[in-house]
Structure 1
């Protein structure tokens, strides 16, 4: 018992690790580390400039506020987020507001790319020296469904001149003002290598931890629910099963929220699942403790009533936009957890059998949560790395491990009692006792073997299913793959308006004669991998590669009104990549690109080694556009030009003879229209 109390005492100094940092009113790019992170694994973006800044703030809206020359000395200087208390006090009125932060760059920062990452929800536009570098949502559609999570994508920028620069953010979130909730955002700055490395590591860790832990809790639910079904009198198994089920659902919900880049409050279903999960955790924990260590059910009935009221209030909040559950949930947590802790302490003091085993996990988890509260009080935030991650994992598993250990201990005690009874029977009939023992051993071995076989088969089936799903998605678009899995077949569909993109390396044949097989394949792989990433960036569907040619289409299988614009943007990105690659590789490849818009048919061909393909005159014309293009140029048809002429600067080439098509109007795309 002394060792247990000493372990709990060691948790509290964790709250003193962090210190408050004074916010800065100027961002110095020279302070941002440019060292690439290869093997570091941690949460967050701690390697960049991360923290609160003192922004110049104005709660009015004007396009001149983004200008570098605008004088903002009369603006308020404050952090970029407002607390719920400030919102309730009327610190912000409805409408858009502006934040401005000064950046200082020296000669070492020129042409060096940096990445901005934001946290928050709403509509936002980000400017550097008056030039837009990123936007979230649409200010013309001021509605909750138009709001986006600011963590959805980063903003990349680079400075071209040394000296003082201005970072401006136009922000709006009327929903937060209406709900009297936290309003604003936070920002961090890092170099792209650090951002990409940490983002990859974070995604891997989060996926493994949330899915793995959620699956573990669901397995515990399944096992103890079966135990309850087999023996109804042991109702504590039911309460523990409900506890594990709610924890697993909450972990799966966290995984969904993180990977969908949305707030957990986005959508009625998320809010209802979150509320129901917390309610079941509170009730099941209290019911489990009461069943084991108390004969009186008064407090349990009170907790059950509070749980029902909290659930009803949550539904009312969703449909009538109230905050009743904000008051009911803390009361439920306080009563259920407080009673559980008090009952456990009383059981430990009275030396109730098994209370120390069960109390260790509950009190350890409570001590850890209390230390986190102290951390928030002293620091205002929680940095999840170092010892915090270790103790967080221990605290998360402490309750289910202690409860499982307690149930195993009680089961062992029951087995010991049965052994004593069997010894008594042995005095009556040694022969019968021997038969019973042999049958028991055989049964236990059989159960162990069968359980191992079932678990192994389940694991193998799940692994094979995952492999087949991954392979299918690499061959077909997701929508077509889902249709094929559900119906066993997929019908070809006609699309009225899409854009087809063809690329071809001009000097590929000559260079292939100079390079070895490995170098040639490696060069194609580098280029086509980059093309695949560009297609994913702009929502194009890769169809196939034929030798050194690359075919993709924009606007299917999901219809997209911006298909032509996305195809042209993707083509320009391909030119940029090939140009940069040409500077790095001594042999260098040139590329020409052709785009045409119109109708076509798409579907699956064949029954063996099937592939998703497209047909139609639109595809043939796109190929003619590529054949009549020039190296380093994007050649588009008259149909495509009519769709993108307002968004891009183009050069008319006049009518040019196209093989099999006669004379056709063609245009070169130069660059996006700066006015758009």
Structure 2
């Protein structure tokens, strides 16, 4: 760097701190106003390391020997605020003696902006992760309230079109003596028991490709054949019903609280849709649901009752016992059957 280049540096030095030093002892020959404002006016005999102690002495020696530029970032704290300076030291050639030119630029604001951008990016990433986790929680919640196909329609369009399904089967379970049980049992125990049982039922329902629609107190309702058509919907709900009772029997062997249930099956048409606007829930209505609901009342404890029209769909896989005609409220006389697993010994049944 020659004298002309040094002069050009000085002309460009508005807002930049510049100092010129003898390379031999690194004492100051010149410094401009910004340099003195930031680092203090060098006293006679002071060297560059005295004024800027953050510089690497070995690097400064390398500048004198090799002529390469040395760049560093220095921090000073004249008051409460820390200032950051981009500092370069270079060798000036073409003069009577070797000179070092020091340029210091205040980059505090730049670093503050970079820090703000980094903090903002971190905050955005954190908020994005939180939103994703919240989205997953909402999705899991909605998938507990409605079948996935219905959820996808609801997510895409914001509404669910009521659908009529002509061929579905329904299983409705209700516990025997639940009111008395809740009256003499601590509520937390009751809820814990129901949670364990219904969780097991959910696994059984999923195993046979059915959909749990809802629980109402101690009642449990699941369907097969909606929203996706299922040719063997009748046997699917029957398998669920048999395994519900089998699970309760095995659970009763090792638990102090003994649970018994009545189960009704129904088949026919049903309508499925989301009910409500703010507190919405997926629900099903129709003949298949009504039949299952009414027939579970007519089942003996730990028995399964179904309409006779399901007989020929179930007879190959289940033990069927005719119960004869029964007058069903709102439906007239209906021939009913008792359904058990082929592994079970048929028990004598009576009608209520």
TM range (shorter): 0.5 to 0.7
Residue 108 of structure 2 is matched in structure 1 by 438
Residue 423 of structure 1: SS of its match in structure 2?
strand
CA distance in 1, matches of 2:343, 2:257: 33
Measure how far apart 1:661 and its partner are: 1.5
CA distance in 1, matches of 2:197, 2:123: 47
Decide whether aligned partners of structure 1 residues 464 and 630 sit closer, same or farther in structure 2, where only a CA change above 3 A counts.
same
Residue 71 of structure 2 is matched in structure 1 by 419
Decide whether aligned partners of structure 1 residues 450 and 587 sit closer, same or farther in structure 2, where only a CA change above 3 A counts.
closer
1:485 aligned to 2:137?
no
What's the TM-score, normalizing by structure 1?
Answer: 0.36
Deviations 1:351-406 (A, max 9, x none): xxxxxxxxxxxxxxxxxxxxxxxxxxxxxxxxxxxxxxxxxxxxxxxxxxxxxxxx
CA distance in 1, matches of 2:121, 2:318: 65
After the TM superposition, which residues 373-392 of structure 1 pair with which residues of structure 2 at under 5 Å, given as runs? none
May I ask how many residue pairs the two structures share in their alignment?
256
| Structure 1: gaps spanning 5 or more residues | 1-415
Measure how far apart 1:520 and its partner are: 2.1
Measure how far apart 1:503 and its partner are: 0.7
Asked if the contact 1:591–1:631 (Cα under 8 Å) also holds between the matched residues in 2, the reply is yes
Deviations 1:621-640 (A, max 9, x none): 11121111111111111222
CA distance in 2, matches of 1:638, 1:417: 96
Residue 269 of structure 2: SS of its match in structure 1?
strand
Decide whether aligned partners of structure 1 residues 453 and 652 sit closer, same or farther in structure 2, where only a CA change above 3 A counts.
same
1:550 aligned to 2:220?
yes
CA distance in 1, matches of 2:329, 2:180: 24
CA distance in 1, matches of 2:313, 2:191: 37
After the TM superposition, which residues 354-365 of structure 1 pair with which residues of structure 2 at under 5 Å, given as runs? none
Residue 204 of structure 2 is matched in structure 1 by 534
Measure how far apart 1:443 and its partner are: 4.2
Residue 516 of structure 1 is matched in structure 2 by 186
Residue 630 of structure 1 is matched in structure 2 by 300
Residue 663 of structure 1 is matched in structure 2 by 333
CA distance in 2, matches of 1:635, 1:566: 15
| Structure 2: gaps spanning 5 or more residues | 1-67, 73-86, 93-99, 345-352
CA distance in 2, matches of 1:418, 1:443: 25
2:260 to 590, 603, 618: 590
Residue 88 of structure 2: SS of its match in structure 1?
helix
Asked if the contact 2:69–2:89 (Cα under 8 Å) also holds between the matched residues in 1, the reply is no
Quick one: higher RCO (CA 8 Å, sep 6+), 1 or 2? Answer: 2
Measure how far apart 1:616 and its partner are: 0.8
Residue 322 of structure 1 is matched in structure 2 by none
Residue 119 of structure 2 is matched in structure 1 by 449
CA distance in 2, matches of 1:650, 1:469: 41
Residue 424 of structure 1: SS of its match in structure 2?
strand
Residue 481 of structure 1: SS of its match in structure 2?
helix
Asked if the contact 2:160–2:273 (Cα under 8 Å) also holds between the matched residues in 1, the reply is yes
Over the residues paired in the alignment, what is the CA RMSD in angstroms?
A: 2.5
Measure how far apart 1:461 and its partner are: 2.3
What's the TM-score, normalizing by structure 2?
Answer: 0.67
1:504 aligned to 2:174?
yes
Asked if the contact 2:69–2:90 (Cα under 8 Å) also holds between the matched residues in 1, the reply is no
1:581 aligned to 2:251?
yes
Measure how far apart 1:491 and its partner are: 0.7
